[in-house]
Amino acid sequence: MGLLSILRKLKSAPDQEVRILLLGLDNAGKTTLLKQLASEDISHITPTQGFNIKSVQSQGFKLNVWDIGGQRKIRPYWRNYFENTDILIYVIDSADRKRFEETGQELAELLEEEKLSCVPVLIFANKQDLLTAAPASEIAEGLNLHTIRDRFWQIQSCSALTGEGVQGGFCRLKALRFTPRNCVPEEQAPLHLILIWDRTRW
């Protein structure tokens, strides 16, 4: 089942638009991931200085992905794009362990934003094609993702460069059984998945 089929199920009414906000530190691989989703050429990727918007129309359904630059000077402007977000995607460079604390802090601040309250989060642990990459389970533990109790979330291992795990992250969104922007009842939280793939099977 493809990305559009899954996202159609997340919206109960027809002819809906889904607004996805794609964030993460610089060099995390956000634009490469977005191009993989759109089946576009990834051989020439340049750092995003502002933002990219990718829209896909299918059977009356429109998916809008906002890819915002992750440089430190740009991050204060992230909040300009929070409004009406249905799904937050946060991309992490799994091989850049020196920046785990920085990326964790940025994610924590995003989750405190009122305009992102209850918005489901899909975290991509990117660059798993590198031998130095930390597994998704280690990243989840290091960032204390288990403490997220106000929304549905999942973390997905992937390589935006090879495409491995990218579509899988979106296709498994249905397993979270959420409707965008619905808060998780306290007695049901936390509900999450840690999704991995085995590099030895390549």
Residues identified as active-site: 71
Give the bridge partners for 194, in sequence order. Answer: 155
Are 161 and 42 in contact by the 8 Å Cβ rule? The answer is yes
> Who contacts 73 (Cβ-Cβ below 8 Å, separation ≥6)?
none
- Tell whether 95 is in a known binding site: no
- Tell whether 2 is in a known binding site: no
> Who contacts 131 (Cβ-Cβ below 8 Å, separation ≥6)?
none
- Tell whether 169 is in a known binding site: no
- Tell whether 50 is in a known binding site: no
- Tell whether 16 is in a known binding site: no
- Tell whether 86 is in a known binding site: no
CA distance 184 to 143: 20
Name the residue type at position 3: L
Binding residues for Mg(2+): 31, 48
Binding residues for GTP: 24-31, 70, 126-129
